[in-house]
Structure 1
Amino acid sequence: MISLKKTLATALVALGLCVAGQTEAKAQNVFETGTNIASVGLGASLHTNAAGKQTGSMTINLAADHCLNGHIWDDNSAFTLGGQAVINMYSGGTDYFLGPRAGLHYHFIPALDTYCFVALGFRGDHSNESKASSFGFGYNTGIGLRYMVAPSWGLFVEAGYGMSVLNIGASFSF
C-alpha cells in the first residue's frame, strides 16, 4: 500500500514539474471578479474516539469558490465565498461537514494561487460500533496552494485544521 508521505511527495514533484515546464506565463491571476473554481481532493486526518484514542482517517473534500472581489488591496488579492463538503472515513465510522467557506487569495506569480480559508457549518458523526450519531456545529480552516496548469484546471494542496489535516487534488475553473 502506498503511504501518505509517498503520495504527497509525488503530488509535490508533479506540481513542481508543471511549474517548471510552464514556458509562457499567463497574463492574469487565478481569480478575477466573477471567476468560479470547483475542487475535489483526497486527504488524511486524525479522528479521536470517545476513549481519547486517535486513529488515522481518509477524507474526501469538495469545495466551490466564487470570486466576489478580484482586487481587494491590489491587483493580486482576491476574496471568495463558496461552500465546502467533507467526508472523513475512519475505522469506526464517519464524520461529515457541510457549510459556507470564505477565502482570501494572493497571487505572488501568475497561475499560482496562495490562500487561506475558513468554513463554518454543520458537522455530524456516526459511529459504527455504538450505532450512535451526533450533529452540531463544525468548522474547517486552512491554507492552500493552487497551481493552474491550464486556464480551466489546476492542482492544489491544502493543510488545515478541523475536518481535514491534509488534502491534495484538482481544481476546475468555469
Structure 2
Amino acid sequence: MKKLFLIGAMLLGLGAQAQNDTFSQGTKVVGAGIGLGVYSSGSMVVPPIAASFEYSIKDNLFDDKSSIGVGAYAGYYGLDYKTSILNVAQGYKSSNFVLGGRGALHYQFVDKLDTYIGLMLGYRVTSNSHYGYSGPIVLDATSTNSGLAWNSFIGARYYFTDRLAANLEFGYGIAAAHIGVSYKL
C-alpha cells in the first residue's frame, strides 16, 4: 500500500500543461468493468464484475489539474472448486460481494486522461457451500463470512469522446485489477 501511495505522489509531482476538463467539480461518472486476478482457487462461474459511481466535489485543489471525487462501488464474482476422491465428487461453491464508498484524488497530466488514486471502505460478504464426502462425513454445509472491506487503488480513464472513456484500475476491490468503460452523465 505504501508503494501505491508513493507512486501516486510521484505522479502528482510531475508537471503537465493540461486543464482539468475530464473531472471538474460537479462531474458525475458511472463505470462498469471486468476484473482480472482473483486471489482464490477454483473455476470462475461468474467473472469479477464491478460497477462504480463517482461525483467530483472539489476541483482546483492544488492547481487547475487536480480534483477530489467521492462515490460508490459494487463488485461480485462466483467460484466453483471441484475435485474427485475415490470417484466421489466434492468441493465448494463460493459467492463474493463487496459494496463500499470511495474517495479519490484526481490529477490530469495530459488531455483526455484522468488519473486518480484513492481509498475504499465497505462491506464484504462471502458465502461458501461445501458438498461431497470426507471420510464418514457427508459434506453439505453453507457458511457465510462478512466484514469490513477496505482497499487502496490507482487508476486512469482515457476519454475517446467528451463522455465515453476506457478505464484501467489496480487495487483489490473484487479483483486485483479492472478494465472497463466509464461514462460522464
How far the C-alpha of 1:89 sits from its partner, in A, is: 2.1
Could you give the per-residue CA deviations for residues 61-113 of structure 1, whole angstroms, max 9, x where no partner exists?
11111000121101111100001001122223111111111011110011101
Say which structure is richer in strand.
2
Determine helix, strand or coil for the equivalent of 1:128: strand
Given the two structures, how large is their TM-score scaled by the length of structure 2?
0.72
Which of these residues, 164, 171, 175, is aligned with residue 160 of structure 1?
171
Gaps of 5+ in 1: 1-25, 49-53
Gaps of 5+ in 2: 1-17, 81-92, 131-140
Amino acid at match of 1:141: S
Bigger-Rg structure (1/2): 2
Q: Does the aligned pair in 1 maintain the 2:20–2:64 contact within 8 Å?
A: no
Which of these residues, 56, 76, 79, is aligned with residue 90 of structure 1?
79
Paired residue for 1:75?
Answer: 64
Q: Distance in 1 between matches of 2:62 and 2:122?
A: 28
1:11-50 counterparts in 2 under 5 A? 29-48=21-40
Q: Distance in 1 between matches of 2:150 and 2:43?
A: 19
Change (3 A) 1:56 1:119: farther
Q: CA RMSD in A?
A: 1.8
After TM superposition, the runs of 4+ consecutive aligned structure 1 residues lying more than 3 A away are 54-57
Q: Does the aligned pair in 1 maintain the 2:118–2:153 contact within 8 Å?
A: yes
How far the C-alpha of 1:150 sits from its partner, in A, is: 0.7
Q: Distance in 2 between matches of 1:142 and 1:81?
A: 13
Paired residue for 1:149?
Answer: 160
Q: Distance in 2 between matches of 1:140 and 1:56?
A: 25
Amino acid at match of 1:133: T
Given the two structures, how large is their TM-score scaled by the length of structure 1?
0.76
Change (3 A) 1:28 1:137: closer
Q: How many residues align?
A: 144
Change (3 A) 1:115 1:103: same
Change (3 A) 1:79 1:66: same
Amino acid at match of 2:25: T
Q: Distance in 1 between matches of 2:67 and 2:79?
A: 35
